[in-house]
């Protein structure tokens, strides 16, 4: 019965794509630091991916293509909206309220603030590599730049990050052992 296959295939495609949502969301959030916008971008990405899913796909192929779609959605969004999008408040404000004094949480916020300050190209590269673990080659394809550009942006991004985070160096040292446990 054709209808059974058709229903089944679409269901499976959707299910497979939903698996990627949180991972895509992490990247979208790291790029925009705006939860609502990141949610919208990911939704747009998965919807587009679903439309294309009929044409593909080797189920064993990597996820890089999804991030290409995300990168395109991201660029389209900012082409349409000339003003800089509002960044979630907690990233920029410097107040550590008593509730947030957990030093790990403070580090997290400071790192996010530093990432937000990077240039767009550096931010995209460093997040795709560090959060999603994509290879330089994949990142080059996703962002449509030469691999040399990926490497130099990453270099500069990590230097910039180091500078931006200098002020919390003592806390970082304290948290070092915790970080080592993260794989």
Partner 1 sequence: MNTEQKFSDEFLNAFVDDQLSLEERQQVYACLATDDALNRQVCELRKMHSLVKLAYEQPPVPPHGLKSLSTGRKLGLGLAAGLALMIGGVAGWFLHQSPAPVPTTVAQAIAETRDPTKVLFHVSDGRPEHLRNALDEVEGLMQHYRKSHEKARVEVVANGDGLSLLLAGISPYAERVRRMQQEYPGLTFVACQNTIDRIRQEVGLDVKLLPGVEVIDSGVAQIMRRQQEGWAYIQV
Partner 2 sequence: MRKLFLLGFMAVLSFGMIQINASYAADGDKVIYHVNLGNEQATDALRNIQNHLAVDPQAKIVVVTHSAGVDFLLQGAEDKNGNPYEGTVEKLAAKGVEFRVCKITLERRHIDPKKVIPEAKLVPSGVVEVTKLQQQGYAYLKP
Q: What is the nearest approach in angstroms of partner 2 to the Cβ of residue 11?
A: 5
The residues in 30-89 that bind partner 2, with binding defined as CB under 8 A, are: none
Q: What is the nearest approach in angstroms of partner 2 to the Cβ of residue 107?
A: 17
10 contact, one of partner 2, partner 1, none, CB 5-8 Å limit per kind: partner 2
The residues in 149-178 that bind partner 1, with binding defined as CB under 8 A, are: 151-152, 154-155, 158-159, 161-162, 165, 172, 176
HSE value, Cβ hemisphere, 13 Å, CA-based, for 86: 6
Do 129 and 67 meet the contact criterion of CB atoms below 8 Å apart? no
Structure tokens given for 72:
């395109």
Residue 134 burial by CB count (10 A; 0-12/13-18/19+): exposed, middle or buried?
Answer: buried
Nearer to partner 1, 43 or 68 (CB): 43
Structure tokens given for 86:
């509002």
The residues in 11-30 that bind partner 2, with binding defined as CB under 8 A, are: 11-12, 14-16, 18-19, 22
Q: What is the nearest approach in angstroms of partner 1 to the Cβ of residue 175?
A: 9
Structure tokens given for 112:
């996010």
Structure tokens given for 137:
């080659």
Residue 44: how many CB atoms within 10 A of its CB? 18
Q: What is the nearest approach in angstroms of partner 2 to the Cβ of residue 135?
A: 18
Out of 22, 79, 99, 170, name the contact with partner 1 by CB under 8 A. 22
């Amino acid at each position: 019965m054709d209808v059974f296959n058709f229903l089944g295939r679409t269901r499976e495609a959707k299910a497979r794509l939903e698996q990627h949502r949180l991972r895509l969301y992490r990247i979208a959030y790291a790029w925009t630091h705006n939860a609502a916008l990141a949610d919208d971008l990911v939704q747009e990405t998965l919807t587009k991916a679903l439309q294309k899913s009929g044409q593909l796909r080797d189920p064993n192929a990597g996820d890089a293509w999804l991030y290409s779609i995300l990168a395109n959605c991201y660029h389209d969004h900012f082409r349409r909206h000339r003003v800089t999008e509002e960044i979630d408040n907690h990233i920029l404000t410097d107040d550590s309220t008593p509730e947030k004094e957990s030093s790990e949480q403070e580090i997290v916020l400071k790192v996010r603030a530093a990432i937000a300050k990077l240039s767009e190209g550096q931010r995209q590269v460093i997040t795709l590599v560090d959060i999603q673990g994509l290879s330089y080659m994949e990142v080059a394809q996703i962002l449509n730049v030469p691999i040399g550009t990926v490497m130099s942006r990453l270099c500069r991004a990590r230097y910039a990050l180091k500078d931006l985070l200098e002020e919390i160096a003592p806390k970082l040292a304290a948290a070092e052992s915790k970080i080592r446990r993260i794989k």
